[in-house]
Amino acid sequence: MFFPTFRARRIRGKEVFRNMVRETSLSVNDLVYPMFSVFGKGIRKEISSMPGIYQQSIEHIVAEAQQAHELGIPAVLLFGIPERKDAVGSDAYAKHGIIQETIRALKKQLPKLAVITDVCMCEYTDHGHCGIIKDGDVDNDSTLELLCKEALSHAQAGADMVAPSDMMDGRIAAIRETLDKNGFAHLPIMSYAVKYASGYYGPFREAAESTPQFGDRRSYQMDPANRLEALREAAMDVEEGADIIMVKPGLPYLDIVREMRNEFNLPVAVYNVSGEYSMIKAAAKMGWIDEERVIMETMLSFKRAGADLILTYHALEVAKMLQKGYEMARATRCGCP
């Protein structure tokens, strides 16, 4: 197919044809909205590095979740900031912990909204790492016991899905076994199967108050240079019982999203992380980009790479754009001379 016999612009010339042959589509059903819950009343504290995103007390979480639900967003992902932290993250699996109480409030007011919970220890430990510390590092197997207790406590509070993000070896099998033995065989697991040790998490650590007090997380999160390791990690989680596999971060790892889509027949999720969100907000504030266009183009890139679900702090904005009939073609329209 060569010019002039083939002219690609014949199809691009009319919007009706562009719409008809568009290969990638985005729906509000693809979105999951992450939220940060804190103890107290009347708290709605904007995260300085994430404009438009807040640490919120439960009544505000419920109100914003109601807004998300009315926009058609099917699910939220909960992170909790406890009143007190300790070496073993006790609040993570407490019956009346921050996440457990937030789940109950959401399910009471919004029973049709899917509540997904992050299962990890970093927000709850005083050292900021994702498990029990032994000899200066996170001890894998003793941490599994706490992750199982945390996941079970979320299930008992009414969570619709749990999402382990800790990157401990064997945690999907351990959590699956615990849920099954306690009457929650129906509860799905969305595994952070491929989670890289990334610099893009900086704003999240402010939001979740989870910055490590020593060292870093490279002994359990993945090396950004590795591709084959991602396939191994995901394969293990699939074998252990994961129902959805996730890649995190998103934009720097679109090649990995595509690898997951090509290799596995499970649903694939991608986390459009805090640093990616904050860069768009900062560039938009400076007037360097068309914010709506770049947000939509970013969402399309995740879908084009093969993601079924997108966890994104832009979820409310995207849902509003879709609701008002945002022209998808605008995301690829060139304004350059």
From the list 248, 281, 320, 324, the catalytic residue is 248
Could you tell me the sign of the dihedral formed by the alpha carbons of 33, 38, 39, 42, in that order?
Answer: negative
Give one DSSP letter per residue of 314-327, joined into a string: THHHHHHHHHTT--
Please indicate whether residue 248 is annotated as part of the active site: yes
Taking alpha carbons only, the member of 157, 75, 61 closest to residue 114 is: 75
Q: What does the CA dihedral 169, 148, 201, 127 come to, rounded to 10 degrees? A: -100
Rounded distance between C-alpha atoms, residue 162 and residue 144, angstroms: 15
Q: Which one of 195, 285, 303, 324 is the catalytic residue? A: 195
DSSP state of 186: T
Q: Identify the three-state secondary structure at position 115.
A: strand
Closest CA to 118 of 139, 138, 147, 145: 147
Residue whose tokens read 């009143």: 83
Which amino acid does the sequence have at 207? Answer: A
134: annotated active-site residue: no
Q: Are 134 and 203 in contact (CB under 8 A)?
A: no
Give the catalytic positions in this structure: 195, 248
